[in-house]
Amino acid sequence: MLEVRDVAAGYGKAQALWGLSLTVSVGEIVTIVGPNGAGKSTLVNVIGGLQPAWQGSIDLDGVELTNLATHRVCASGVAVVPEGRRVFPEMSVSDNLDMGAYHREARRHRDETYAEVCEIFPRLAERAQQLAGSLSGGEQQMLAIGRAMMSRPKLLLLDEPSLGLAPVIVEAIFDVIREINKTGTSILLVEQNVVEGLELAHRGYVLEEGRIVREGPAADLLDDKELQASYFGM
Ligand SMILES: Nc1ncnc2c1ncn2[C@@H]1O[C@H](COP(=O)(O)OP(=O)(O)O)[C@@H](O)[C@H]1O
Ligand SMILES: [Mg+2]
């Protein structure tokens, strides 16, 4: 479904991704793990059209997304939840959700999708009229994910949704990701939380200094002694 081929990207003269290739198949949860500064956010932003690719190609179901504007990437079926849960604090929860449903197909199905999102996130439904800025950190992350779901994506990209949240909240967010995946949405998750991120996934990639150094079924990566020694703090 998603095919990233030989993508390079960076900032000015500083290259952050070096010829990176990966795939996500229909129905999969794929997790990319790697240390701080490895290039995880750069990768998410390039796929989501938030940042240009210097070389290579990205396509979804055969439709080329490389260097399209974000709204076109979104209309093609890819939604991004960027790092740092950016919600609109002065807007209500329900208005924040509606911001996610801006392309034509999403608007047409707005009520149906809204009901589905409220089912996955009952807390958001309860707080629909509250200002987003009054929500807890975990609730704001849920809102950011719910807003992305409002565009009815085929593929959801999540950049470190667990960042800065208490373990019990992280668990709740990972449960939600599982549930969203069960409804048929493919997931590409980026995580510094290596063990939990891989436990959730079907397949994984390990990113180091802008290159993929390992890939495979998530269970194999979790079992790998070398990775355990370098990453999992075991
Ligand atoms: N806005 C930026 N300007 C310059 N360099 C950046 C910027 N954002 C990230 N980088 C650099 O790009 C590399 C990859 O960063 P990033 O994709 O944020 O990694 P990760 O998300 O894995 O922590 C790092 O070396 C980082 O310092
Ligand atoms: Mg990052």
Domain range summary for the chain, segments of one domain joined by +? 2-86+152-231
- Read off the pLDDT of each residue in 83-111 and give the average, rounded to a whole number: 93
Residue 178: count of CB within 10 angstroms of its CB: 12
Name the strand (E) or helix (H) holding 22.
Answer: strand 14-24
Indicate whether residue 151 lines ligand 1 (CB < 6 A).
no
Indicate whether residue 36 lines ligand 1 (CB < 6 A).
yes
CB contact at 8 A, 98 and 150: yes
H helix runs in the chain, sequence order: 40-47, 70-75, 93-99, 104-108, 110-120, 122-126, 137-149, 167-182, 194-199, 218-223, 225-231
In CATH, 2-86+152-231 is 1.25.40.10? no
Q: Choose which residue among 31, 40, 42, 208 to substitute to test ligand 1 binding: the one with the highest number of ligand atoms within 8 A of its C-beta.
A: 42
Residue of 30, 85, 17, 59 lying closest to 201 (CA atoms):
30
Torsion of Cα atoms, 110 then 113 then 117 then 119, to 10°: 120
Indicate whether residue 20 lines ligand 1 (CB < 6 A).
no
28-53 pLDDT, tens digit per residue, is 999 999 999 999 999 999 999 999 99
d(CA 47, CA 24) in angstroms, rounded, equals 12
Of ligand 1's listed atoms, the one at least distance from the Cα of 45 is 17
pTM, to two decimals: 0.95
143-170 pLDDT, tens digit per residue, is 999 999 999 999 999 999 999 999 999 9
